[in-house]
Amino acid sequence: MATSSLLLPSVPLNNLSCSGNASSSLCFAVGRSRVSMSVSAGSQTTVHDSLFADYKPTTAFLFPGQGAQAVGMGKEAQSVAAAGELYKKANDILGYDLLDICVNGPKEKLDSTVISQPAIYVTSLAAVELLRVREGGEQIIDSVDVTCGLSLGEYTALAFAGAFSFEDGLKLVKLRGEAMQAAADAAKSAMVSIIGLDSEKVQLLCDAANQEVDEADKVQIANYLCPGNYAVSGGLKGIEVVEAKAKSFKARMTVRLAVAGAFHTSFMEPAVSRLEAALAATEIRSPRIPVISNVDAQPHADPDTIKKILARQVTSPVQWETTVKTLLSRGLKSSYELGPGKVIAGIFKRVDKSASVENISA
């Protein structure tokens, strides 16, 4: 399955105002002109899902996904009151001391799906607050006109863009981690990164592996990260065959990923219904700026469409390479990676060596 290419028209889009009643800590004011995001239809307010279709990005906030976590993250957040407040709110929602696990570990606990996802979500939004108090930080935040996140990071991006409150986003992320862990526990599955091949070759490798395993162990590309780095998910036997065959396909190396199971494939199907129920009960507003979806590498404005896409996201391949290429081709000038690790900055450099990405950690 090759990643789809997206050629979309480009016309200027000014920064948008925050709508709805998003949590004040995450409803970021934006300067410049404001764009109306909805039209009234009787007593109903409807939003055109294609509102952001012609977006022209200049400054992006990028949020990391699972795997970026590291013991010690969140340490700097304690020095900024607004950032520390996010961890206090998180403790009430999660029922445990998240900051203590982020800062002190142990690593095995932080790496678990049910803890790493909330930890990265909160720490990434804490990084926004650290940037805010930096000289010129508020101006940078105000200049952001597009945002996206890798897998889990899409929820962080939506929170930043005012689509839901910090608290509601954290509740969704908590449930998402629990549901994905439960789905992973239900079948033996895994993920592996294939380094040094293009996506077409990785697809051929998957096809070859699938000829040697039964239906329950089949594999597929689950994450189109960047040229030369694609993650394959599937049944444990299928992943082992992929690893064994990779060298014969001229892969430079394979790296088994430290995740609970075959994320972004049908192995995560048991998680979908739980996510759908939680999303249905969550107030989601149209984001104030474009948030690029992992599922189709496009921005969506209609809250119901966003809910459907978030439910589908756990079983759909991540179209990150297309997202990065589209942002750059549309004129993106500067980017900030907010949260732990520097994975996204590395991916941008693989796509375009001249790309400007600054890491803001917490």
- Any idea which residues carry the catalytic annotation? 151, 264
Q: Read off the DSSP letter of residue 217.
A: G
Q: Is the dihedral of CA 174, 179, 180, 182 positive or negative?
A: positive
* Residue pair 357/36 in contact by the 8 Å Cβ criterion: no
Total H helices, total E strands in the chain: 13, 11
Bridge partners (DSSP) of residue 61 are 147, 336
Contact partners, residue 35, CB within 8 Å, separation at least 6: 13, 14, 16, 17
Give Dmax over CA atoms of the chain in angstroms. Answer: 63
- The CA-based dihedral angle spanning residues 83, 135, 56, 63, taken in that order and rounded to the nearest 10 degrees: -30
359 CA to centre of own chain: 16
CB-side neighbour CA atoms (13 Å) of 32: 15
Whether a cis peptide bond, with omega within 30° of 0, leads into 106 is yes
Q: Which of 347, 343, 294 shows the shortest CA–CA distance to 124?
A: 343
Name which of 222, 203, 192, 225 is nearest 322 in CA terms.
225
Separation CA 7–CA 10 (nearest Å): 9
